[in-house]
Amino acid sequence: MTADVPFAIVTLSLVWIADVYEEFARWEAYDDAQDNFCDTNEEDDDIEYVDLLLNPERYTGYKGKSAHRIWHSIYMENCFRPKNSYGAYIQTSKLSEQNSLISHPDGKWGANLEEFHRRFDPELTAGEGPQWLKNLYFLYLLELRALAKAAPYLMREEYFTGNDQEDVEVRQAIKDFLNVVRSFPDHFNESSMFTGGKQAKKLKEEFRQHFRNISRIMDCVGCDKCKLWGKLQIQGLGTALKILFSGKFDAVDPSGADLSQMSKNKFQLQRSEIVALFNAFGRLSTSIFELEQFREMMR
């Protein structure tokens, strides 16, 4: 605004800005949401915080018509049919919910080889079982790539909880972990997906909308613990997809020395997204470890 502009116009402009500030904030929130693959529901009045260590993921017995309706709805939203190489995400929560653990008569938890065969034996799954297990490795590499790509950003985070000693330990542990992640090259080449101009852009948007619908479907799960871990892992995968395909990390210096481009894009992961990403990757890592244990048992 120049000095020779009449005072009345300046006043009018200030009033106008005050009136539409909330609208601008709404626009910004909308623009930010275009990068998201999940509905986070962070502003829900009924939101509750839980300690994941006190609520470990394990077999809950959730089954029957309600569970079948949820899975049917998810499959109907699955725009990546089995022939598609990245139709993998649908198996993530499925495998992690099973996680090969059962309740024995004596009250202990253990591996169930019979159940593993039932769910993944090619003769009992119309040949699909081995592909589902391959999907698990695919997702692992995809999330590993997202962590490597976002490593410069994640290393700059404060991870504040209010406990100074624990915050220092968490920051150091994350830096050590991300250094290991970045030491493995060629996790996954996201540039090979959604290539081909306008059609690819349309496919990417369809992909994002279907995935958002799946995150909403998870709200309908009738088992609280299943919903907790299902939504956590869906959001973790959604965060990985956001990192890989939003374009906000494409110009970031891998060394982390220059994050100016990211600052220009005003990109910021929410706390819940970071927590979900680390926990989702942890569950995938655990599932792969347990898969190797089953292979040892079958030898």
Residue 38 has pLDDT above 70, yes or no: no
The answer to whether 58 is a known ligand-binding residue is yes
Range of the domain at 274: 34-298
Going by C-beta distance under 8 Å and a sequence separation of 6 or more, which residues neighbour residue 131? 82
Question: What is the rounded distance in angstroms from the CA atom of residue 195 to the CA atom of residue 203?
Answer: 9
The answer to whether 2 is a known ligand-binding residue is no
**Confidence band of 274 (pLDDT split at 50, 70, 90):** very high
Mean pLDDT of 197-205: 74
How many domains does one find in the chain?
A: 1
Predicted pLDDT at 275: 92
For Cα atoms 78, 119, 57, give the angle at the middle one, nearest 5 degrees. Answer: 80
Residue 280 has pLDDT above 70, yes or no: yes
15 domain-assigned: no
Give tens-digit pLDDT for 158-191. Answer: 898 888 899 999 999 999 999 999 988 777 778 7
210 domain-assigned: yes
User: What is this structure's pTM?
Assistant: 0.74
**β-strand partners of 109:** 103
What's the maximum distance between 2 C-alpha atoms anywhere in the chain?
86
Residue 109 has pLDDT above 70, yes or no: no
Question: What is the rounded distance in angstroms from the CA atom of residue 71 to the CA atom of residue 230?
Answer: 12
Q: Are 75 and 91 in contact (CB under 8 A)?
A: no
Residue 72 has pLDDT above 60, yes or no: yes
Active site (catalytic) residues: 223, 226
1 domain-assigned: no
Mean pLDDT of 47-58: 80
**Confidence band of 33 (pLDDT split at 50, 70, 90):** low
Phi/psi-derived region of residue 117, left when phi > 0, alpha when psi is between -120 and 50, beta in every other case: alpha
Mean pLDDT of 28-45: 58
The answer to whether 208 is a known ligand-binding residue is no
**Helix %, strand %, coil % for the chain, to 5?**
65, 0, 35
The answer to whether 60 is a known ligand-binding residue is yes
How many CA atoms lie less than 13 Å away from 244 in the CB half-sphere?
Answer: 27
**Confidence band of 34 (pLDDT split at 50, 70, 90):** low
**Confidence band of 279 (pLDDT split at 50, 70, 90):** very high
- Token pair 């994050």 is found at 259
10 domain-assigned: no
198 domain-assigned: yes
Predicted pLDDT at 204: 75
Predicted pLDDT at 268: 78
Phi/psi-derived region of residue 186, left when phi > 0, alpha when psi is between -120 and 50, beta in every other case: left
Give tens-digit pLDDT for 218-270. Answer: 888 888 888 888 889 889 998 998 898 888 777 665 665 555 555 545 567 88
Q: Which residue has the higher pLDDT, 233 or 215?
A: 233
Mean pLDDT: which of 128-137, 273-282, 286-295 is highest?
A: 273-282
Q: Which residue has the higher pLDDT, 280 or 194?
A: 280
17 domain-assigned: no
261 domain-assigned: yes
266 domain-assigned: yes
Q: Are 125 and 119 in contact (CB under 8 A)?
A: yes
Alpha helices in 34-108 (DSSP H): 65-77, 90-98
**Confidence band of 146 (pLDDT split at 50, 70, 90):** very high
Q: Which of 98-102, 157-161, 194-198 has the lowest mean pLDDT?
A: 98-102
Predicted pLDDT at 221: 83
Predicted pLDDT at 5: 42
